[in-house]
Structure 1
Amino acid sequence: MLTAGLLGLGTKVFPAGSPVPAPAANQAPAKSGPLAKAEVLHWWTSSSESAAVKTIAEAYRKAGGTWVDTAIAGADQARAVAINRIVGGNAPVAAQFNTTKQFQDLVEQNMLNNMDDVAAAEGWDKLLPETVLNVIRIKGHYYAVPINLHMQTWFWYSKAAFKKAGIVKEPSTIDEMFAALDKLKAAGLVGLAHGGQAWQETIVFQAMLANVGGKDLSLKVIRDRDAKAINSDAFKNVLLAFKRMQSYIDAGSPGRNWNDATAMLISGKAGFQIMGDWVKGEFAAAKQTPGKDFGCIAGFNSTAPYLIQGDAFVFPKTTVEPVVRAQKLLAKTLMTPSVQVDFNKLKGSIPIRSDVDTSSMDLCAQSGMAIMKDKSRVLGISEVYLTPDQNGALQDILT
Structure 2
Amino acid sequence: MRLTLKALCASVIQSTLLYVTPAAHASEVEVLHWWTSAGEAKAASVLRAGIEQRGHQWRDFAVGGQAGISAMNTLRIRAISGNPPLAAQIKGPEITEWARLGFLRNLNDIAEAEHWEDKIPAPLRDVMQYQGDYVAAPINIHRVNWLWINLRAFEDAGAAIPHDFESFFTAADKLQQAGYIPLALGGEPWQVATLFDTLALSVMGPEHYQQAFLDFDREALLSDGVTKSFSLLAQMRPYTDSDNLGRNWSDTTRLLIDNQAGMQVMGDWAKGEFLAADQQEGKSFTCVAVPGTEQAFSYNIDSFVFFKPNNAEERQSQTDMAEYLLTPQFQRDFNRYKGSLPIRFDIPLPNGDTCAEKSRQAFLYAEQHNTLSPSMSHGLSTTRYVQSAIFDVINEFFYNPKQTPEEATQALYRAILSAQA
What residue in structure 1 maps to residue 382 of structure 2? Answer: 386
Q: Structure 2: how far apart are the matches of 1:264 and 1:130?
A: 38
Cα deviation, residue 344, structure 1:
0.5
Q: Structure 1: how far apart are the matches of 2:148 and 2:205?
A: 20
Match of 1:78 among 71, 78, 82: 71
Residue 175 to residue 304, structure 1, CA distance change in 2 (3 Å): farther
Q: Quick one: which amino acid aligns to residue 372 of structure 1?
A: F
Q: How is 1:159-308 mapped onto 2 (pairs within 5 angstroms)?
A: 159-167=151-159, 169-301=160-292, 304-308=295-299
Show CA shifts across 1:25-69 (max 9, x none): xxxxxxxxx962111121111111111111111122222322122
Q: Structure 2: how far apart are the matches of 1:110 and 1:15?
A: 12
Match of 1:156 among 142, 148, 155: 148
Q: Structure 1: how far apart are the matches of 2:174 and 2:69?
A: 36
Q: Quick one: which amino acid aligns to residue 84 of structure 2?
A: A
The answer to whether the 8 A contact 2:184-2:262 is kept is yes
What residue in structure 2 maps to residue 92 of structure 1? Answer: 85
Show CA shifts across 1:324-352 (max 9, x none): 11101000111111111100001111101
The answer to whether the 8 A contact 1:143-1:314 is kept is yes
Match of 2:101 among 109, 123, 143: 109
What residue in structure 2 maps to residue 316 of structure 1? Answer: 307
Cα deviation, residue 310, structure 1:
1.8
Deviates more, 1:268-277 or 1:80-89: 80-89
Show CA shifts across 1:103-150 (max 9, x none): 322111101112111111122223212342121111011111111111
The answer to whether the 8 A contact 2:151-2:284 is kept is yes
What residue in structure 1 maps to residue 138 of structure 2? Answer: 146
Q: Structure 2: how far apart are the matches of 1:56 and 1:304?
A: 32
What residue in structure 2 maps to residue 398 of structure 1? Answer: 394
Q: How is 1:5-24 mapped onto 2 (pairs within 5 angstroms)?
A: 13-17=1-5
- The Cα RMSD (Å) is 1.9
Q: Structure 2: how far apart are the matches of 1:251 and 1:55?
A: 37
Q: Which runs of 5+ in 1 are unaligned?
A: 1-12, 20-33
The answer to whether the 8 A contact 1:47-1:285 is kept is yes
Residue 179 to residue 118, structure 1, CA distance change in 2 (3 Å): same
Residue 318 to residue 35, structure 1, CA distance change in 2 (3 Å): closer
- Between the two proteins, what is the percent identity of the paired residues? 33
SS in 1 for 2:283: coil
Cα deviation, residue 365, structure 1:
0.9
Cα deviation, residue 262, structure 1:
0.6
Q: TM-score, normalised by structure 2?
A: 0.84
Q: Structure 2: how far apart are the matches of 1:246 and 1:268?
A: 20
Q: TM-score, normalised by structure 1?
A: 0.88
Q: Structure 2: how far apart are the matches of 1:361 and 1:96?
A: 30
SS in 1 for 2:64: coil
Residue 268 to residue 18, structure 1, CA distance change in 2 (3 Å): closer
Deviates more, 1:375-384 or 1:302-311: 302-311
Q: Number of residue pairs matched?
A: 371
Match of 1:365 among 332, 356, 361: 356
Q: Quick one: which amino acid aligns to residue 117 of structure 1?
A: D
Q: Quick one: which amino acid aligns to residue 152 of structure 1?
A: V
Cα deviation, residue 359, structure 1:
4.5
Show CA shifts across 1:183-224 (max 9, x none): 112222111111011111110011101122211221121122
SS in 1 for 2:5: coil
The answer to whether the 8 A contact 2:147-2:264 is kept is yes
Q: Structure 2: how far apart are the matches of 1:71 and 1:249?
A: 30
Q: Which runs of 5+ in 2 are unaligned?
A: 8-24, 396-421
Deviates more, 1:184-193 or 1:337-346: 184-193
Cα deviation, residue 91, structure 1:
1.6
